[in-house]
Amino acid sequence: MQLPADPIEAARTWARHDPDPETRAELEALIARGAREELAERMAGTLRFGTAGLRGVVGAGSNRMNRAVVIRASCGLADWLIERGLAQRGPLVIGRDARLSSEALCRDAIAVFAAKGLEVRHVPEPCPTPAVAFAARACGAVAAVVVTASHNPPEYNGYKVYGPDHVQIVPPVDAEIAARIAAAPFADEVPRVDDPLAHPRVRPLEGLRERYLAALDGCLAPRPERPGLRVVYTAMHGVGAAYALAALERAGLGAIEPVREQIEPDGRFPTVRFPNPEEPEALALAHALAERTGADLVIANDPDADRLAVSVPGRTGGFEPLTGNQIGALLGDHLLEHASCDRPFVVRSIVSSPLLDRVAAAHGARSVATLTGFKWIWHAALELEGRGEGTFVFGYEEAIGFSVWSQVRDKDGISAAAVLAQLAERERRAGGSLRARLERLYRAHGVWVSVQHSVWRPGLEGRREIEQAMAQLAERRPETLGGAAVERVIDYREGAQARPSYLGRAELVELQLGESGRALVRPSGTEPKLKIYVDLCAPADGEIARIEREQRERARAVALELARFVGLEG
């Protein structure tokens, strides 16, 4: 497909070939107004595969999520499978979340796959992303697709792709598929079957929830005889409730109270501005319910249920969220404590806290760091296991993504919730709590505090500002940060040949501050922002709460100092 360089002419060409009358009319209205600047952004190339496949704002144009983009993406993926000789070796599994456009986009994808001769197994109802990843492995799929934008705001949607190894695609596969997409014809020229769900090559995946839950039983401890843990759960208007509530019930809890206002799937996300459980306001209803009911724990999934957020009673009242790094340390310590395999290893993303490294060492286990994105965590797990270097036990990323079992080769907020709840119940029965266990880890390994600072820069101009900020770090680096000397700088844009494949070239710079911690800078793969991560460590030689508070303030100051250094304040 070739589009003219002029944005208005490009929009005219795209609109002529857009099979969706709504987005076609949207583009035609912008053309009629002569909205050159907006059209330049909408037609600025096509959506690229990032850390989560395709993802973008829903709307008209080649640089938006819409039916035309999904049709061409599905054509490219199908062509890649056919050329690799994979199309006849197993089915393609596809599912979707409950966003307003997901059903139509999923249907278009199925129509393309069926026309290309692929056997398709689709999940009939909206379902969690990890359930589709589970189904891909259970069915021996040659690929899987989930139409989802995970925790992004309601105006977004996405197209997540798993390869034949049932892991999210990584280079060079993503580039190979992108090349097939670029070579695909205009959307209205891509063959599609008329009634995809009735086509003989398309069959529904029935009983997926029951199969997932039955498999999950294998990684849960036996149910306690007299459970007493009281949990509040929210699905954040997503698709996780049916799976998560059943998983928590199987874990054996005293009582589970759902947040009724957020339990049903609703792509409008009416009670939250940003349906990401990392955002404090997104948990407001769950915290209020937990206080009213005297709960011990708050558990939240994001809308596609691949992430897990946890809140515990605050030291001075109310409920306080644990960070992804704190949850990761708790889960990693728990799973390593009970690991029965030879040479266990854990995997974390490079921007996640080094605390896990110290926890793993205490258990005689190996800890491995990867590039950001869960695709790299499982890519590393399979590579290391394939070389006979041990057994994968746990993987996590600080953005509340956790992998606690091998049946889902991706982050899974449902299984992680069940395992975490069992850990909380175990600590309660011993007279402790998750917070008390975390403080024991701090006493043993130092008080680690992590802060993330994001600088948003939307639009084409914002993209250029982020690129300039990263370019500046290639030319000069700060000598100190937060009063600590920058002892070493690792630029992951260089030297990839000397590192393992899962820690290859990336737009990422790490500034090491010796024993006191580090800072990292990278552009987001899915959103228009620059991310700064700061991890600091201090000896646990006093009140933990005070040390945490002081280190967190220092970490925020380091993040702001680094943002100013690269010319992106605010």
pLDDT in the model for residue 50: 58
The residue annotated as part of the active site, out of 74, 102, 150, 403, is 150
The question of whether 101 is a catalytic residue gets the answer no
CATH of 446-565, one of 1.10.260, 1.10.287, 3.30.310, 1.25.40: 3.30.310
**How many angstroms separate the CA atoms of 394 and 388, rounded?**
17
- pLDDT beneath 50: ranges in the chain: none
Residue 285 CA: distances (Å) to CA of 86, 271, 294: 47, 9, 14
Helix ranges (H only) for 299-453 are: 324-337, 355-362, 374-386, 413-429, 434-445
Of 498, 528, 525, 513, nearest to 562 by C-alpha is 513
Of 178, 187, 147, nearest to 55 by C-alpha is 147
Is the bond leading into 458 cis (omega within 30 degrees of zero)? no
**Whether the domain at 50-205 and the domain at 324-411 fall into the same CATH topology:** yes
DSSP string, 470-509: HHHHHH---SEETTEE--EEEETTS-GGGS-GGG---S-E
pLDDT in the model for residue 560: 95
pLDDT in the model for residue 52: 59
Q: Which residue has the tokens 């925020």?
A: 556
Could you tell me which CATH number the domain at 50-205 has?
3.40.120.10
Distance of CA 206 to the CA centre of its chain: 26
pLDDT in the model for residue 280: 86
Could you tell me which CATH number the domain at 324-411 has?
3.40.120.10
Is there a contact between 416 and 331 (Cβ–Cβ < 8 Å)? yes
Residue ranges of the domains in the chain? 50-205, 324-411, 446-565
Q: Indicate the pTM of the whole model.
A: 0.95
pLDDT in the model for residue 537: 97
The mean of the pLDDT values for the chain is: 95
Give the pLDDT confidence of 148-183 residue by residue, as tens digits: 999 999 999 999 999 999 999 998 999 999 999 999
